[in-house]
Structure 1
């Protein structure tokens, strides 16, 4: 994206932009049949996905900041602030809402019952044209021609929900073979769309404490991410500043 600053956080070139500018850019690339990979770089991404650096620089791969940890790093290391806080959970429906016509969307990853309900939400609530979905368990194991299946339904957007770092690795491994214009790693988004997990109350989100709410709900799964991994993240930020 022209004239948008890039902040290097632990060697990762993270775009500083607003959700409006990012959505307009992605929708324009979809209309022009260009291909884009969008990764939401939070602290866990920085720690777990250093292999992504091997694919950079590449103007088809866009990294945007996700979460208060990235803001803290930008302030401490670069003395700067990101233009907006961007995360897949909020940005994806915003992108869909800005599209002038429904997008052809394929959902990949998640548990079978979760992905199926998420597909219904994307179609009935968000108004998109869900052309297919495949869960991240038996669905992927039993679909050896998955890329061909996605191409056959002419998906424009592929949402990959496998968590870091699996979703990023899958996207990088298959992006050349996929015809879709936009590939996004969106983490737990299907859990929220399906109602399997709850979003934090509005006041908690405004205070930028949704991470604490999620830790409260899933302490065993997320404790390391929000304690030890944060220390690793900060060490890497200062090491590669």
Structure 2
């Protein structure tokens, strides 16, 4: 029997309110049943930058979950409730792997070559998964005209795409029909974290939901607009389409 799913609309995006354990169980069923789900972690930046996704969100194979305190604030303002849990690719991906009764076959796309190599090692040695292939997001991807065939030949069940939004979301939408993998996930800066190139915020900062501030302090030039003017655009769009 299918469990009821609560969906909170955030600026026209149907975002599923669920827990990490329930989401992991749902995705592992997709693997077991050989289906396909495109998993998107919806944060404030995605709501602002990825409006093209609205043409695809009614597809049952596309699943949006909430990422970050901005979505929680919007849910409280618009619906009078918060999401069941804070979900993000950095924390959720290792949890998904840990819930699988066996190592999953993983294909990794994105990142600089040296970052990707260290991230692959982390997934194999630290997380105990089977990396069946990889392709960096620079020359590797530009010259990999057979990337779909490579992914299918590898037998990959999970494709992790780390190119940041909106690039990774466009890539997954473009390739999902040709790829046989069961789960496609856009994971942003996750390979950088796994490779040790970027630090995670201290645990206390994470618990206080201030990891965004920690990242802003490390990369102010790249992230300042995302956490200032883009937040205002996000709130405007939330109320415009409430």
What is the TM-score of this pair, normalised by structure 2? 0.99
Residue in 1 that maps onto 2:31: 30
Measure, in 1, the Cα distance between the counterparts of 2:201 and 2:57. 34
- Whether the 8 Å contact between 2:161 and 2:168 is mirrored in structure 1 is yes
Cα distance, 1:239 vs structure 2: 0.1
Report the equivalent of 1:143.
144
**Number of equivalent positions:** 241
**Could you say which residue in structure 2 is the equivalent of 1:5?**
6
Helix, strand or coil for the counterpart of 2:199? coil
For the residues of structure 1 that align with 2:83 and 2:56, how far apart are their CA atoms? Answer: 23
Q: Shift of the alpha carbon at 1:81?
A: 1.1
The residue aligned with 1:200 is: 201
User: Cα deviations across residues 118-176 of structure 1 (Å, max 9, x unaligned)?
Assistant: 00000000000000111000000121111111111010000000001000000001100
Q: CA deviation at 1:4?
A: 1.7
Matching of residue 217 in structure 1 with residue 218 in structure 2? yes
Q: How does 1:49-68 map to 2 (within 5 A)?
A: 49-68=50-69
Distance 1:56 1:119 in 2: 30
TM-score (norm 1): 0.99
Aligned to 2:93: 92
2:20 maps to which residue?
19
Q: Secondary structure at the match of 2:8?
A: strand
SS at match of 1:39: strand
Matching residue of 1:239: 240
Q: CA deviation at 1:56?
A: 2.4
Determine the C-alpha separation between the residues in 1 that align with 2:6 and 2:32. Answer: 24
Structure 1 unmatched ranges of 5 or more: none
The 1-side partners of 2:89 and 2:164 are apart by 12
Partners of 1:150 and 1:116 lie apart in 2 by: 17
State the Cα RMSD in Å.
Answer: 0.7
The yes-or-no answer on 1:78 pairing with 2:68 is no
What is the CA distance between 1:203 and its match in structure 2? Answer: 0.5
Q: Deviations over 1:98-135 (max 9, x none)?
A: 00000000000111110111000000000000001110
Aligned to 2:178: 177
C-alpha contact 2:57 2:63 (8 A) present in aligned 1: no
What secondary structure, in the 3-state scheme, does the structure 2 residue paired with 1:63 have?
strand
Distance in 2 separating the partners of 1:178 and 1:27: 18
CA distance in 2, matches of 1:147, 1:137: 17
